[in-house]
Amino acid sequence: MSTSVLDDRRSGTFTASSGATWRCFTDAVMGGVSTGWMSVETIDGRAALVLRGQVSLAHNGGFVQMALDLPAPPAAGVQGIEFDVHGNGRRYGLHLRTADMTAPWQAWRARFDAPPRWQTLRLPWSGFEPHRTPGALEPVRIRRIGLLAIGEPGEVALNLGRIAFW
């Protein structure tokens, strides 16, 4: 089964292989006090986009995110997202936003564990649940992918080595 690579981390910058730029967001955009930042590093011998920080639930907060606006939606027939990840043993989320979403809290959400070793994960479209959005997920309408720590206080240490549609 073939993949369509969004980012293989060869750029050595915040720019993805697809030409789009990764950005970091925290709940500070909504009055929260979580902290977060991104860097580009080598983790256990692999180039990685690194998300670090601290999630706080104070002031109705609770997230730290790295997000990529897609230059083009996934092609028809794509079954999900495949990515290489290394973390600190906590549970993280992968959120999708579509062209139809207007409120910042709307997303299609899936959860994954990120142990302190590299692993390749595949999340099929059927594994995403709607959050404050109606209807069914239409993959060809996806416009943004976000990887984040959300809803649980604590340290954020998430490393992304590669991400693709499969």
DSSP per position, 7-29: E-STTSSSB-TTS-BEEEEEGGG
Query: Which residue reads 């999900």 in tokens?
Result: 80
- Does 4-165 carry CATH code 2.60.40.10? no
Per residue in 116-137, pLDDT (tens digit) is 999 999 999 999 999 999 999 9
Quick check: helix, strand or coil at residue 131? strand
Instruction: Provide the whole-model pTM.
Output: 0.95
Map out the domains of the chain as residue ranges.
4-165
Per residue in 58-109, pLDDT (tens digit) is 999 999 999 999 999 999 999 999 999 999 999 999 999 999 999 999 999 9
